[in-house]
């Protein structure tokens, strides 16, 4: 009885303590980082995601209502690596809030691609190489683990009274990530090395490819307006045939006539949807689910 009373007093006291400290207000410009903020912060954090699930983060621009939330936030979390072209605007309105460019603390991987000369019939220039920094660092689980550490440390600095809570939440999440990476390694081991070829239209998978030994072939900017007879499509067909690729992963927005041309003239199939730009819907609504969806989709289509 005595110990029960003591327990009651303790939980009352801790409730009072928690109430005394306002939850940390966090403004997040990435669906991935929003999950980390919520998992690490728990009840001690109020995390607001500004980029809706399914929205294109490359095209996203904060609305006045977003800027208003940012102006009273304690922390603003960004993917960085040039994903948020509007970072200057956020810094301007952020007031006392700390702008944390999480991706800036993660090593970059660069997309190396051939820069084709454009214009049909023009004298073909020799192929040049260009390098583009891939901003989609979360497609490496190891990078996610680093991001969890960065966010745990930032939250702990601002709310030292919750340091232990943030530490144990981060440890639980980190364990899930380690399990996910082990699962992904086993699953991808089902694919022989020479089958690890990813043909896709969005330059988003360099980190993933580096971790799992994939070679990526990007179809430069294939869009809804491309016609089956275009040079771009001809290049793609050539790549698919030369590399003996079994499946192509195209964006939903690509012209259906082009997709049909790919499948009928190369024998490759359409591999299904990969989530490139953040969390998705259905089974991809969590990081774990999104990552497993991508791995399963690749393995099923290419094996
Ligand atoms: Zn992207």
> Please, what CATH class does the domain formed by 22-114+138-180 belong to?
alpha beta
Domain with CATH 3.40.50.1980 in the chain: 22-114+138-180, 191-302
pLDDT tens digit sequence for 42-98: 999 999 999 999 899 999 999 999 999 999 999 999 999 999 999 999 999 998 999
- pLDDT, tens only, 187-246: 999 999 999 999 988 889 999 999 999 999 887 666 667 777 788 788 888 989 999 999
**CA–CA separation, 29 vs 66, rounded Å?**
10
**The domain over range 191-302 is classified in CATH as 3.20.20.70:** no
Question: Residue 45 has which token pair?
Answer: 């954090």
Distance 111 CA to ligand 1 centre (A): 13
Helix (H) or strand (E) holding 220: none
Q: How far is the CA of 220 from the centre of ligand 1 (A)?
A: 13
**Alpha helical stretches, state H, 73-122:** 87-93
Ligand 1 geometric centre to CA of 57 (Å): 7
Decide: residue 301, CB within 10 A, 0-12 exposed, 13-18 middle, 19+ buried.
Answer: buried
pLDDT number for residue 255 = 75
Q: How far is the CA of 83 from the centre of ligand 1 (A)?
A: 8
Kindly report the three-state secondary structure assignment for every residue of 148-187.
HHHHHHHHHHHCHHHHHHHHHHHHHHHHHHHHHHHHHHHH
- What is the H or E stretch that residue 212 is in? helix 206-212
Ranges of beta strands (E only) in 14-86 are 24-28, 45-49, 75-78
Q: Which helix (H) or strand (E) holds 120?
A: none
């Amino acid at each position: 009885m005595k110990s029960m009373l003591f327990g009651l007093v303790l939980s009352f006291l801790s409730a009072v303590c928690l109430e005394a400290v306002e939850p940390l207000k966090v403004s997040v410009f990435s669906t991935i980082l929003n999950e980390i903020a919520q998992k690490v912060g728990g009840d001690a954090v109020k995390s607001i995601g500004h980029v809706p699930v399914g929205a294109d983060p490359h095209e996203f621009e904060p609305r006045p209502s977003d800027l208003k939330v940012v102006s009273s936030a304690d922390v603003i979390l960004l993917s960085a690596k040039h994903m948020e072209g509007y970072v200057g605007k956020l810094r301007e309105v952020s007031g006392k809030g700390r702008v944390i460019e999480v991706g800036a603390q993660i090593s970059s991987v660069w997309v190396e691609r051939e820069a084709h000369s454009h214009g049909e019939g023009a004298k073909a220039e020799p192929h040049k190489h260009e390098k583009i920094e891939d901003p989609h660092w979360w497609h490496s689980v190891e990078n996610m683990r680093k991001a969890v550490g960065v966010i745990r440390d930032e939250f702990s600095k601002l709310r030292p009274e919750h340091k232990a809570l943030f530490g144990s939440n981060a440890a639980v999440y980190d364990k899930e990530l380690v399990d996910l990476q082990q699962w992904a390694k086993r699953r991808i081991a089902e694919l022989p090395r020479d089958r690890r070829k990813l043909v896709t239209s969005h330059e988003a998978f360099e980190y993933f490819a580096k971790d799992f030994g994939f070679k990526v072939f990007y179809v430069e900017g294939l869009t809804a307006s491309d016609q089956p007879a275009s040079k771009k499509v001809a290049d793609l067909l050539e790549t698919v045939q030369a590399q003996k690729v079994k499946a192509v992963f195209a964006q939903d927005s690509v012209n259906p006539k082009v997709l049909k041309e790919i499948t009928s003239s190369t024998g490759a199939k359409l591999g299904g949807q990969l989530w490139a730009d953040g969390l998705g819907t259905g089974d991809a609504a969590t990081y774990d689910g999104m990552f497993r969806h991508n791995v399963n989709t690749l393995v099923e289509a290419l094996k």
